[in-house]
Structure 1
Amino acid sequence: MVFFRSKLRLAIASSTPYFQRGFSTSRIVSKSAIVTGAGQGIGKAIALRLARDGFDICVNDLEANSTKVNSVVAEVQSLGRKAVAAYADISKLPQVEAMVNASVDGLGPLDVIVANAGITKVQWGMDVQESDLQRLFEVNFYGVLYSDQVAAKQFIRQGSGGKIINAASLVAFRPLLMIPIYSATKAAVRSLTQSLAMELAKHKITVNAYAPGVVDTPMWEQGDEEMSAINGLPKGQNFKDTVSLITLGRTSVPEDVAKMVSFLASADSDYVTGQTMLVDGGMAFS
């Protein structure tokens, strides 16, 4: 079924749900999760992991990425879960509201939101333009805040609590060269996560974040190219050079991050809130 709500085009598809063991000893039955920026990379891995854990999934991304979104929807369905595709720019509050409404309409009460969508831009801090600054904060911070706000209001209406999981980054702890504004947005997400955890605890809502390190994703491919244009290293070399900074001796893959989100979305994390969990192979202290 395809319909429009607040200028947001939504495609809803479902299949028969089934029971499956979630993280550790948890059993998740007929629960739903929204994952923003889930058309590829970390977001896709999170959506599929949560589907394997037993969640029905609202797959969000921009409409320009509809082919990728439809592919993720099909993969979720192949795991026996319901899937809702919701195209929205998470930096626009009305579209976030429509996305959450679509998830509830198609999947029932909301249990988890993973505010994963984000962008990056490689540049020296002295070269940052107003337009760059504005867009990075619009997506990486405003988008997380809007997602958290709208989901929390839905959780409160439902009266059964919920889990908010935000995308921070290693750079929220240890800024890296050539991504100063991206680093600042992720530090802001870490702070927001702590603040909302205190504010929403009375509603039985936990708020946590995950902080990936160097992950082999399209975002890092883009960043590597932009770094090469600045420092002159061959394409791919910047990515390879990060290995020496990682205690475990390898860069990560999206599934490494999805495992942490699986924990944060499960009942096993019910007594965890206000935390930003590093998934960086030890890079922050290497």
Structure 2
Amino acid sequence: MSNVHVTGAARGIGQAIALRLAQDGHRVAVSDLESMRGALEDTRNELPEVAAGGHVALTGDVSDPASVRALVHDTAQQLGSLDVMVANAGIAQTKALLDVSPEEYDQVHRVNGRGVFLCYTEAARQMIAQGTGGKIIGAASIAAHKGFPLLGVYCSSKFAVRALTQAAAQEWAPHGITVNAYCPGIVETSMWEQIDADLGAINHVGKGESMAAMAAGITLGRVSTGADVAKLVSYLAGPDSDYMTGQSVLVDGGMLFI
């Protein structure tokens, strides 16, 4: 099995991904912001032990180059290598485009765009140096395939992840590195609870109504869980996806058909 790093793993989708990959038998390094250390340690402690050794918890900021460099270095040093990088960390923003300041735009892209870029490139450098290939996996979204009102800046950052994934897949294929992204729809996480609250405040509707309205269009009839998304990441991290690269795969229960 592989040595894996999952960013933004203190809660939500990242936590579910880390749990699933540990269940698959991988050794996992989980990371998040220093302010999330307590929750991150809880995530690490929930991971089932694997025969090859234990898991590690690291703190860092994916938008900071030195921090990402340290996360990759420490993962490779403590686990022995970095074979799979899951660039999961991200933030949301719910706001009309005419109300978004340049600073607010930059904040979203600093985490969702720059953060994925840094995780991709630092992981690739480590994998190339190791000489054994690897798998790089990024967090995109249905918002990487379609722009949504009041989520315009978030959508633009996820379109960036999709483009970056395609370019990186082509550049790093000669090194045996595949690059793919997962694209969730509506997920039962604290991020979506905040999106629902923000949309409710803008549209003057009650708690849960905005999410219910968006979820009404899901073909499978329910919103997803982190575990639903983690199943796709499990495939992308494993050998069955060896002939797949440059793809941003929808896992949305049937919201978009592209």
TM-score (norm 1): 0.88
Residue matched to 2:29: 58
Paired residues, what number?
A: 257
Question: For residues 51 and 77 of structure 1, what CA distance do their matches in structure 2 show?
Answer: 6
Which aligned pairs between 1:1-286 and structure 2 lie closer than 5 A? Answer: 28=1, 31-78=2-49, 82-285=54-257
Q: TM-score when scaled to structure 2?
A: 0.97
The residue matched to 1:260 in structure 2 has which SS? helix
Structure 1 outlier segments of 4+, above 4 Å: 77-81
- CA distances 1:70-89 after superposition (whole Å, capped 9, x unpaired): 01111125566511111001
Kept after mapping to 1: 8 A contact 2:23/2:48: no
CA distance in 1, matches of 2:50, 2:57: 16
CA contact 1:212–1:278 (8 Å) conserved in 2: yes
RMSD (CA atoms) = 1.2
Once residues 39 and 238 of structure 2 are traced to their aligned partners in structure 1, the CA distance between those partners, rounded to angstroms, is: 26
AA of the residue aligned to 2:16: A
Residue 84 of structure 2 aligns with an amino acid whose one-letter code is: V
Higher strand share: 1
Q: How far off is 1:243 after superposition?
A: 2.0
Runs of 5+ consecutive residues of structure 1 not aligned to the other structure: 1-27
Secondary structure in 2 aligned to 1:119? coil
- Does the 8 A contact of 2:6 with 2:18 survive in 1? yes
Cα distance in structure 1, aligned partners of 2:4 and 2:30: 9
Contact preservation (8 Å) 2:141, 2:158: yes
Q: Which string of whole-angstrom CA distances, capped at 9 and with x for unpartnered residues, describes residues 126-180 of structure 1?
A: 1110111001000000000000000000000000000000000001112222100
Alpha-carbon distance in structure 1 between the residues aligned to 2:186 and 2:50 = 28
Where structure 2 has 5 or more consecutive residues not aligned to the other structure, the ranges are none
